[in-house]
Amino acid sequence: MMTNTSPAHDALTDEAEQAERPLIQLENFLPHRLNVLSSLVSQALTQVYGRYGIGIPEWRVLVSLGQFGMMTGKAIGARTHMHKTKVSRAVAQLEARKFVTRKANRADLREAFLSLTPAGRSVYEELAPRARDFTEKLSEAVSAEDRVAFDRAVELLTRRSAELVAKGER
């Protein structure tokens, strides 16, 4: 049986359906999906470095110094996108563990040059191959054909996000 509806009734029905529909579905919202992915990857990665009693910020500082050698806290923050207080706390924890040492910058006493101690270098050299293995296991979820597109998409999203930050857009 066919029902006969008027244009006014159809418009009200459309409005009611739109009112019931959420403005954003969190599970499909790209920033949320990226955050969930990042959180899960970070949690899984702690299995690699967690036995050393370090967390994500300490891991990032340790790897930055292992990769680039002597750096300032400011340079580490810029490279890892960590706030200066988070970098400072991570450095303090790594210093307490004797993994990092600091040397004052005579040209600017507010700044220090950070580097790995022999113990820190040893931890880095032990963890780096395990971290690479973790990356390979994680990457197996994406086919070889799709990895190029995935890497390109991540690069483009990173660049676009940086542009939006620079413009102050939200």
Burial 109-136 (b: 16+ CB within 10 A, else e): eeeeebbbbeebeebbeebeeeeeebee
Nearest to 78 by CA among 61, 94, 99: 61
Q: Point out the least confidently predicted range of 28-32, 37-41, 47-51, 84-88.
A: 47-51
- Domain boundary assignment for the chain: 30-130, 140-170
Higher-confidence position of 68 and 9: 68
Residue 84 predicted with pLDDT over 70: yes
In angstroms, how far is the first alpha carbon of the chain from the final one? 50
Please name every residue paired with 112 in a beta bridge, in sequence order, or none if there are none: 104
For residue 95, CA distances in Å to 38, 47, 92, 106 come to 27, 22, 5, 20
Give the pair of three-digit tokens for residue 43: 């949690």
Indicate the average pLDDT of the chain.
90
Q: Can you tell me the mean pLDDT for 34-61? A: 93
* CATH number attached to the domain at 30-130: 1.10.10.10
Predicted pLDDT at 107:
84
Predicted pLDDT at 22:
87
Predicted pLDDT at 17:
65
Nearest to 121 by CA among 54, 57, 67, 50: 67
DSSP element (H, E) containing 53: none
Condensed to tens digits (0 to 9), the pLDDT of residues 28-42 reads 999 999 999 999 999
Burial, 64: exposed, middle or buried (Cβ in 10 Å; 0-12, 13-18, 19+)?
buried
Predicted pLDDT at 12:
65
Condensed to tens digits (0 to 9), the pLDDT of residues 104-154 reads 888 887 889 999 999 999 999 999 999 999 999 999 999 999 999 999 999
Residue 80 predicted with pLDDT over 90: yes
